[in-house]
Amino acid sequence: MKRLGFETREIAEKVVQQFHNVVGKDGVKLLLRFADTKAQKQLKHQSNERRAYRAGEYNYSVELVNSATPSPSLHRLQQAASHFSPTSQNSYPSPIGSVGQVWTPATSISPPYEFSTPLLQLDIY
């Protein structure tokens, strides 16, 4: 890609009319177009971001439909990690009385650390 500038729009339009879709001696076709404006570039950027977000939603819903346990994406894990820390959990008295440990919602359902799976798994494509 090569970007060229012209003094006026009229000159640029003449060049586009004369050289657009012209096949050169080496068999390569020239494709000419006006460069995107800043507003067009911003719109393309926003559209691509929305497309990527929708693709992520689609992939997540497909995992649910296929009855697979969805694996959390790196982005979701990072969001969760930014909101919680091991020291931020509140402790509650055990609902079954004194059990020798402080009962928290996480420790009541999570296996001990040595038996747990790693928190973060990355899929590289």
Residue 3 has pLDDT above 80, yes or no: no
Residue 112 has pLDDT above 60, yes or no: no
Q: What CA–CA distance (Å, rounded) separates 108 from 74?
A: 25
Region label for 40, one of left (φ > 0), alpha (ψ between -120 and 50) or beta (otherwise): alpha
Higher pLDDT: 61 or 48? It is 48
Q: What CA–CA distance (Å, rounded) separates 25 from 55?
A: 43
Q: What is the pLDDT of residue 9?
A: 83
The band of 120, judged by pLDDT with boundaries at 50, 70 and 90, is very low
Q: What CA–CA distance (Å, rounded) separates 19 from 64?
A: 52
Helix and strand totals (H; E) in the chain:
4, 0
Higher pLDDT: 18 or 100? It is 18
The band of 60, judged by pLDDT with boundaries at 50, 70 and 90, is low
